[in-house]
Amino acid sequence: MASNYPSLGSADERPQLGRNLTYGMLDSLGRAIVTGRYEHEPFPIEAELAKQHGVSRSVTREAVKMLTAKGLLSARPRQGTVVQPSQNWNLFDTDVLRWLLERKFSLELLRQFNELRVAIEPEAAALAARVATEEDLRAISTGLERMEAAERGEEDALDADIAFHVAILRASENPFYAQFRDVVSTALRSSIRFTNRIKGHTASLAEHAAVRDAIAARDPEAAHAAMRVLVQDVLTLIGTAEIEKA
């Protein structure tokens, strides 16, 4: 006789369901913390959180543990779980960065991100000019070709631009730069939307091609300079916008 109750799924499906609940709660709580929900009120206790979100205590405990690892929460004796000041948050965590960028648009945050880019990406481009493999060079060229296709309406401009920059980080063959790709992918989405809105058009293909060509020519100094021009242009636009807003 068929059961009228919904199936809980197989043994393999149930852990997946638990992970989905955990990440759903993580996203909800993380966004609430970053947007200031708990600035003037204490962070709820575990039982209250579980009740609010309709999940088990184990799901709640795991989500809180993950937020603690991201620097958003800390557990203190006799004080319970408390929200940490923003300077303690792990800004290299893509969830934290995404929550920050999803809250009220901030020119200051955008400038700070691009100040980091200008310190990292020109050096990565210079390294790529020295050590990139043929496969790396093809990936960079593919990124540029996707940007060209985006100009014709055949590709997504954001995805293509990000693919180009990520390919260069990977071509540096430096694992630390390569791991910066997730931060770049997350934050570039806001940065590119901003610059495209201000400039009225998508990224300069000529400036991106100059970076690709310098890397392909194995010219580290030219690659460094060309990438610096790309990021510095963004910083200049942000600086102008900040002056106009003041």
Output 49 or 14, whichever has higher pLDDT. 49
Q: What is the pLDDT of residue 18?
A: 53
> Rounded mean pLDDT of 34-40?
90
CB-based burial of residue 3 (10 Å sphere; 0-12 exposed, 13-18 middle, 19+ buried)?
exposed
Q: What is the pLDDT of residue 3?
A: 39
3-state DSSP helix/strand/coil % of the chain, to nearest 5: 70, 5, 25
Helix axis angle for 181-199 and 94-102, nearest 10°, is 20
DSSP helix/strand/coil, 24 = helix
pLDDT in tens, 113-151: 889 899 999 999 999 999 999 999 999 999 999 999 999
The share of the chain scoring above pLDDT 90, in percent, equals: 59
Global pTM value: 0.79
pLDDT-derived band at 182 (thresholds 50, 70, 90) equals confident
Domains and CATH numbers, the chain: 13-88 (1.10.10.10), 105-245 (1.20.120.530)
Residue 2 clears pLDDT 80, i.e. is over it: no
Residue 9 clears pLDDT 50, i.e. is over it: no
Question: Which of 10-14, 104-108, 171-175 has the highest average model confidence (pLDDT)?
Answer: 171-175
